[in-house]
Amino acid sequence: IAGITQAPTSQILAAGRRMTLRCTQDMRHNAMYWYRQDLGLGLRLIHYSNTAGTTGKGEVPDGYSVSRANTDDFPLTLASAVPSQTSVYFCASSPGGNSYNSPLHFGNGTRLTVT
Amino acid sequence: AQSVTQPDIHITVSEGASLELRCNYSYGATPYLFWYVQSPGQGLQLLLKYFSGDTLVQGIKGFEAEFKRSQSSFNLRKPSVHWSDAAEYFCAVGPGGYQKVTFGIGTKLQVIP
């Protein structure tokens, strides 16, 4: 079934450690996104990529980095994790960047706990 | 700056009862408006969207929403709720690009028998 695969499903991480959350899509979508979901704050965009080779900063990019070496993969890296990065992380993709014409497809999320 | 307000964090309804989830937005021009649903342990799924035309839009799973410019609202409705509708619902607003779409904090719907 076509879609977005995120790994790991959940992770407990010690503060200060480096962590990469993986995201792979098989729909050949141009645009990909990383969101974090926190209780009472909804979804907030961390980083995005409109096409392979390009990335941009979202609402809450600090402490995170991304790369987009190819169409399918969009990993999110926490260089030195802090407890405030405890959250559920969602990867999403869309055929194009226009929100009305290109619906978002979401992965099932990665639950990250930083201790 | 644009914003979205979902005033109800948690709503409980009986199965078969009608449902209305509220969403108010702040945006300078005519926005794109969306409702997404999130089932437990899953990502969000688009229910419906609005940009122009008929102010009453139909979505999947029997949901509809009405755009009211004068009230800056985009409330989600369903005439008869099913137990499978228990989930969290997110309203979102924005211009064309997803990098500028703002999500509300969500309304968690509980359905009781």
Secondary structure of residue A52 in the 3-state scheme: coil
Burial class (CB in 10 A: 0-12, 13-18, 19+), A110: buried
Give the model's pLDDT for residue B5.
95
The pLDDT assigned to A95 comes to: 87
In terms of CA atoms, which chain A residue is nearest residue B36? A104
Whole-angstrom distance, CA of residue B57 vs CA of residue B91:
14
Q: Which residue of A has its CA nearest to B52?
A: A100
Q: What is the pLDDT of residue B80?
A: 97
d(CA B50, CA B30): 10
Whether residue B113 has a cis bond before it, omega within 30° of 0: no
Phi, psi of A75 (to 5 degrees): -75, 145
pLDDT per residue as tens digits for the range A51-91: 999 999 999 999 999 999 999 999 999 999 999 999 999 99
Chain B contacts of A31, Cβ < 8 Å?
98
Tens-place pLDDT, residues B45-60 = 999 999 888 899 999 9
A41: chain B residues, CB-CB within 8 Å:
105
The chain B residue lying nearest A56, using CA atoms, is: B99
Burial of A44 (0-12, 13-18, 19+ CB in 10 A): middle
What pLDDT, on the 0 to 100 scale, is given for residue B18?
A: 97
Neighbour count for residue B47 (Cβ, 10 Å): 24
- Which pLDDT band, with edges at 50, 70 and 90, does A97 fall under? confident
Å between A2 CA and nearest CA of chain B = 15
In the structure, what pLDDT confidence band is assigned to residue A99 with cuts at 50, 70 and 90?
low
Helix (H) or strand (E) holding A93: strand A87-94
B108 touches chain A (CB under 8 A): no
Residue of A nearest to B100 (CA): A58
Integer Cα distance of B98 and A44 in angstroms: 11
Residues of chain B with Cβ-Cβ distance to A94 below 8 Å are 98
pLDDT of residue A83: 97
For residue B3, the tally of other CB atoms under 10 A from its CB is: 11
Task: Determine the Cα angle at B33 with ends B30 and B37, to 5°.
Answer: 175
Residue A100 has pLDDT above 80, yes or no: no
| Structure token digits, residue B109 | 């719907």
Enumerate the residues of chain B whose CB falls inside 8 A of the CB of residue A43. Answer: 44, 90, 103
A interface toward B at CB cutoff 8 Å? 4, 31, 33, 40-45, 48, 56, 58, 90, 92, 94, 97-100, 103-109
CA distance A39 to B90: 13
- pLDDT, tens only, B67-78: 999 999 999 999
Work out whether strand B19-21 and strand B44-50 pair parallel, antiparallel, or are unpaired: unpaired
Q: Is the pLDDT of residue A20 over 90?
A: yes
Helix (H) or strand (E) run with residue B14 in it: strand B10-14
How many angstroms away from the CA of A35 is the closest CA of chain B?
11
**Structural contact between residues A7 and A22, judged by C-beta atoms closer than 8 angstroms:** yes
Q: End-to-end distance of chain A based on CA atoms, in angstroms?
A: 35
| Beta-bridge partners for B34 | B49, B92
Beta strands A10-13; A110-114: pairing state? parallel
